[in-house]
């Protein structure tokens, strides 16, 4: 199959399968894997050679780690040294020992068993980070801990590549190695010379990134040609990957180091914007290649063995990660995100299995089985994440609610705030500053732990539960302020409060106009749209910047706010009639324009020449 046809098949598979998988709630990663399995040699046979495509697609992982590095300033990375070395180091060591022991118990030689342990100890950086980013968990404790483990694993790939040939089962005169090592120009040198050159290469990346690259980017930016900046960004990442390859190191690690060095660079956001589309496309290609590379004939031949090994791998990693999560103090909700994100085999496993086979460390028949095990474990990861999200997390939420009820005494404060995120915190701080006694509930255990560090007293709980509202003092309270992130939970909390505590005034946060009407129908006493006041304030400032006097901008904003509020109330009766709703909205928009024309009867509508300071009635835009 020619290159153009191959590209068409890959892109078509991704474009069709991924949106369907996302719509079904399976996530993009599983969509790519399914697409690959369908077009691969074991199904529709549209693609037969996947190995070369996968090697190219692995560059998506390199780009991803470069972008991750851009988000981490060196001082932040230094603060993470304990979880990287502690959590990451223990995960690799303990998992390697556990899997090595299991393999030896099955009768394998210790060299083969250790190689298998080292390879299966690794997790998929591509899948884990992609899922955590999709779930917006990268800045949570689960995300930070997962990243620390993945970073240590990527660093560990380097000594693993060096160690595997030493575990060879028989003497060999010429050892083939993986792409990272086979293209190395220093492999013939003695160990201390190799170490010096490697250190020199890493130092040069840091020096160039810190002191020279800024001037290059400034020169390119001054040209005003965006496509040249894109080319320069790609050149930077490809150049680093090539340099690391030449000295036998992981290109992904080199890209990550470069990203960290450039984290404080003024061009980092431009770099990120230019590289991100290529990263996403290549990662998708990588996942499709993994799916296409699954040997279903081998799975059909040995289904019990392979599925048993897949489940055993996930179980071993699950237990080890669960213990480490407890030791390192991960909260209940974060713990299972952390475990399921890392419970699979990793993409570097395919590379290391190839090296192990060529180095005569692992027999070829076992390599085939392990390749299928790693691929299937990667396929199962999005499913495990989905099960965690749908079934396990709600159970832990319930447990957290129950444990909170045991520790929280009955409250008697006049105000209850449900939700203490970016919206609820502003409301709460204002009330607390004015000596108001409040009871604060939040459904995020990690948010509670973080906010309590600043001296706020929060309790874990779901405000849509009747018994919890009673414990929080809803019978005696005057106000219930609902600032929950979840639209569904907000509606449930309003309905629950108005049904069982009719005396309680409910002040609620709405996401948009549609949500506003939902809350009004449920009986909320006052509803504040999430971004309305901030947007109005910014619009008022924009008018002033365009030359409108401050007092006039204030009046215009007030008129707009009043008319908008009146319009929302008027539209409420048409909320179920879409055509009428849109028609009335357009009428209201025209009315608003007429109001402002009446305010400025001499407003100009053409582009006539104006003086520096507009007179009354002139347009400012």
User: Residue 402: inside a domain, yes or no?
Assistant: no
Report DSSP letters for 540-551, one per residue. HHHHHHTT--HH
Domain match, 375 and 267 both: yes
Number of DSSP helices (H) and strands (E) in the chain, helices first: 30, 6
User: Residue 618: inside a domain, yes or no?
Assistant: no
Domain boundary among 372, 396, 420: 396
- Going through 302-355 in order, the beta strands assigned E by DSSP cover none
Give just the sign of the alpha carbon dihedral 178, 180, 184, 188: negative
Instruction: Give tens-digit pLDDT for 471-498.
Output: 888 888 999 999 988 888 899 999 999 9
User: Residue 617: inside a domain, yes or no?
Assistant: no
Domain match, 472 and 601 both: no
User: Residue 418: inside a domain, yes or no?
Assistant: yes
Cβ 363 vs Cβ 428: under 8 Å: no
What 3-state DSSP class applies to 441? strand
Q: Which two tokens stand for residue 76?
A: 């932040």
| Per-residue 3-state assignment (H helix, E strand, C coil) for 346-409 | CHHHHHHHHHHHHCCCCCHHHHHHHHHHHHHHHHHHHHHHHHHHHHHHHHHHHHHHHHHHHHCC
Helix (H) or strand (E) holding 335: helix 332-342
* Number of domains the chain contains: 3
State the pLDDT at residue 491: 92
Q: Which two tokens stand for residue 404?
A: 């909170």
Domain boundary among 374, 396, 418: 396
State the pLDDT at residue 92: 95
User: Residue 539: inside a domain, yes or no?
Assistant: no
Domain match, 252 and 188 both: yes
Domain match, 558 and 446 both: no
Domain match, 383 and 349 both: yes
User: Residue 507: inside a domain, yes or no?
Assistant: yes
Q: Which two tokens stand for residue 612?
A: 């520096």
State the pLDDT at residue 399: 53
Between helix 28-39 and helix 3-23 the angle, nearest 10°, is 140
Q: Which two tokens stand for residue 133?
A: 């980013």
User: Residue 538: inside a domain, yes or no?
Assistant: no
**Parent domain of 582:** 548-607
Domain match, 306 and 451 both: no
What radius of gyration do the chain's Cα atoms show? 30
Domain match, 49 and 162 both: yes
Cβ 244 vs Cβ 201: under 8 Å: yes
Surface-to-core class of residue 550, CB atoms within 10 Å of its CB (0-12 exposed, 13-18 middle, 19+ buried):
exposed
Q: Which two tokens stand for residue 72?
A: 């981490």
Cβ 127 vs Cβ 283: under 8 Å: no
Instruction: Give tens-digit pLDDT for 80-139.
Output: 888 888 999 999 999 999 999 999 999 999 999 999 999 999 998 878 888 888 787 887
**In whole angstroms, what is the distance from residue 265 CA to residue 271 CA?**
10
**In whole angstroms, what is the distance from residue 441 CA to residue 483 CA?**
10
Q: Percent helix, strand, coil in the chain (nearest 5)? A: 70, 5, 25
Residues forming beta bridges with residue 440, ordered by sequence position: 417, 458
Please state the length of the chain. Answer: 621
Domain match, 449 and 552 both: no
User: Residue 309: inside a domain, yes or no?
Assistant: yes
Q: Which two tokens stand for residue 530?
A: 């999430």
The predicted model scores a pTM of 0.59
Domain boundary among 500, 530, 560: 530
**In whole angstroms, what is the distance from residue 265 CA to residue 214 CA?**
7
Domain match, 31 and 118 both: yes
Residue ranges of the chain with pLDDT lower than 50?
A: 171-181, 403-407, 602-613, 616-617
Domain match, 555 and 603 both: yes
């Amino acid at each position: 199959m020619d290159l153009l046809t191959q590209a068409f098949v890959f892109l078509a598979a991704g474009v069709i399968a991924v949106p369907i998988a996302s719509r079904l709630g399976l996530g993009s990663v599983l969509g790519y894997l399914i697409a690959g399995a369908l077009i691969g040699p074991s199904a529709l046979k549209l693609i037969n050679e996947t190995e070369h495509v996968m090697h190219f697609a692995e560059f998506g992982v390199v780009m991803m780690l470069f972008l991750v590095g851009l988000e981490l300033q060196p001082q932040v990375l230094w603060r993470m040294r304990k979880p990287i070395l502690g959590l990451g180091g223990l995960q690799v060591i303990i998992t390697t020992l556990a899997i090595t022991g299991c393999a030896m118990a099955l009768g394998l030689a210790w060299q083969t068993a250790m190689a298998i342990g080292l390879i299966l100890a690794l997790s998929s950086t591509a899948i884990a980070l992609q899922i955590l980013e999709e779930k917006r968990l990268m800045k949570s404790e689960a995300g930070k801990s997962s990243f620390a483990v993945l970073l240590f694993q990527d660093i560990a790939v380097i000594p693993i590549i060096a160690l595997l040939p030493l575990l060879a089962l028989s003497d060999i005169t010429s050892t083939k190695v993986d792409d990272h090592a086979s293209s190395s120009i220093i492999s013939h040198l003695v160990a201390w010379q190799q170490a010096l050159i490697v250190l020199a290469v890493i130092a040069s990346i840091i020096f160039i990134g810190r002191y020279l690259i800024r001037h290059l980017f400034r020169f390119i930016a001054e040209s005003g040609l965006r496509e040249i900046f894109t080319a320069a960004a790609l050149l930077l990442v490809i150049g680093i990957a090539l340099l690391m390859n030449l000295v036998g190191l992981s290109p992904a690690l080199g890209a990550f180091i470069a990203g960290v060095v450039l984290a404080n660079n003024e061009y980092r956001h431009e770099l990120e914007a230019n590289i991100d589309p290529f990263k996403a496309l290549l990662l998708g290609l990588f996942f499709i290649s993994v799916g296409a590379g699954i040997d279903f004939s081998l799975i059909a031949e040995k289904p019990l063995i392979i599925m048993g090994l897949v489940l055993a791998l996930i179980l071993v990693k699950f237990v080890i990660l669960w213990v480490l999560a407890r030791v390192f103090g991960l909260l209940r909700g974060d713990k299972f995100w952390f475990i399921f994100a890392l419970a699979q085999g990793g993409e570097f496993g395919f590379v290391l299995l190839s090296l192990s086979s060529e180095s005569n460390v692992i027999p070829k028949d076992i390599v085939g089985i392990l390749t299928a095990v790693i691929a299937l474990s990667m396929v199962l990861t999005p499913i495990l994440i989905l099960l965690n999200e749908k079934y396990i997390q709600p159970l832990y939420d319930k447990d957290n609610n129950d444990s909170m009820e045991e520790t929280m005494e009955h409250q008697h404060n006049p105000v209850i705030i449900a939700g203490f995120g970016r919206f609820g915190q502003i409301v709460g701080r204002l009330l607390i500053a004015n000596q108001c006694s409040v009871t604060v509930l939040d459904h995020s255990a990690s948010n509670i732990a973080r906010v309590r560090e600043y001296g706020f007293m929060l309790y874990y709980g779901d405000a849509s539960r009747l018994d919890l509202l009673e414990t929080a003092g809803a019978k005696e309270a005057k106000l219930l302020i609902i600032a929950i992130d979840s639209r569904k939970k907000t509606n449930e909390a309003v309905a629950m409060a108005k049904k069982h505590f009719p005396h309680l005034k409910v002040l609620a946060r709405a996401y948009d106009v549609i949500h506003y009407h939902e809350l009004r129908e449920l009986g909320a006493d006052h509803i504040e749209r999430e971004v309305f006041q901030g947007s109005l304030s910014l619009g008022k400032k924009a008018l002033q910047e365009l030359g409108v006097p401050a007092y006039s901008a204030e009046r215009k904003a007030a008129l707009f706010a009043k008319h908008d509020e009146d319009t929302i109330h008027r539209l409420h009766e048409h909320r179920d009639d879409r055509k009428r709703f849109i028609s009335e909205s357009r009428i209201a928009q025209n009315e608003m324009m007429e109001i402002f024309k009446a305010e400025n009867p001499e407003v100009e509508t053409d582009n006539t020449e104006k003086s520096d300071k507009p007179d009354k009635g002139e347009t400012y835009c």
